[in-house]
Amino acid sequence: MAEPIYLLLGIHHHQPVGNFDSVFEMAFEKCYRPFLEAMERHPSLKFSLHHSGPLLDWAAEREGDYLDRIAALVGRGQLEILGGGYYEPILPILKPSDARGQIEMMQKFWVDRTGVRPRGMWLAERVWEPSLAGLMHDAGMRFTILDDQHFRHAGLTDETLFGYWRTERAGKAVSIFPTDKTMRYLIPFRLVEDVIGHLLHLAQKHPGAAVTYGDDGEKFGVWPGTYDWVIGEGWLEKFLTALEANSGAIRTVTFSEHMGMKPPSGRIYLPTASYSEMLEWAMPAEAIVNYERTRKEIERAGLWERTAPFFRGGFWDNFMTKYPESNLIHKRVLLVSDRIDAAERSGKSLPEARSSLYRAQCNCAYWHGLFGGLYLNYLRHALYKNLIDAEVAVDTATNGGGEFVEAKALDFDSDGFDEALLTSRDITAIVSSRSGASLVALDWKPRRFALMNTMARRFEAYHKPAEGHEGGGEGGLPSIHDLGKSLGDLRRELVYDRFPRYAFVDHAFDSEPDWRGLLENRYEDCADIAGRAFSMESVGGAGASLTALAPTKSGGTLSVEKRYSLANQSRLSLSYSLKHSGPGSPPPWFATEFNFTLLAGHDKDRYFLWNGVKGDDVFMDAKLVVDDVSILEAVDRAFGFKLVIDAEAQKMVLCPVETVSQSEKGFDKIFQGTTVWLAWKPEWSPDGKAQISVGIELKNI
How many whole angstroms separate alpha carbon 352 and alpha carbon 432?
30
**Peptide bond preceding 16: is omega within 30 degrees of 0, i.e. cis?**
no
Q: Which of 382, 447, 427 is nearest to 87 (CA)?
A: 382
How many whole angstroms separate alpha carbon 407 and alpha carbon 196?
64
Dump the DSSP string for 493-522. G----SS-S-EEEEEEESS---HHHHHTT-
| φ/ψ (deg, to 5) at 247 | -65, -20
Residues 6+ apart with CB under 8 A from 386: 17, 356, 357, 359, 360
Angle between helices 351-359 and 377-399 (to 10 degrees): 160
Q: Cite the DSSP H helix spans in 126-261.
A: 132-138, 148-153, 181-186, 192-205, 226, 235-245, 255-261
Torsion of CA 151, 153, 158, 163, to 10 degrees: 0
**426: helix, coil or strand?**
coil
| φ/ψ (deg, to 5) at 637 | -75, -20
| φ/ψ (deg, to 5) at 167 | -140, 165
Which residues have a catalytic role annotated?
125, 216
- Cβ-based neighbour number of residue 149 at 10 Å: 22
- Measured CA to CA in angstroms, residue 233 lies from 32, 229, 477 at distances of 17, 5, 12
| φ/ψ (deg, to 5) at 378 | -70, -25
DSSP 532: P
Buried/exposed code over 7-29 (b: 16+ C-beta within 10 A; e: otherwise): bbbbbbbbbbbbbeeeebeebbe
DSSP 2: P
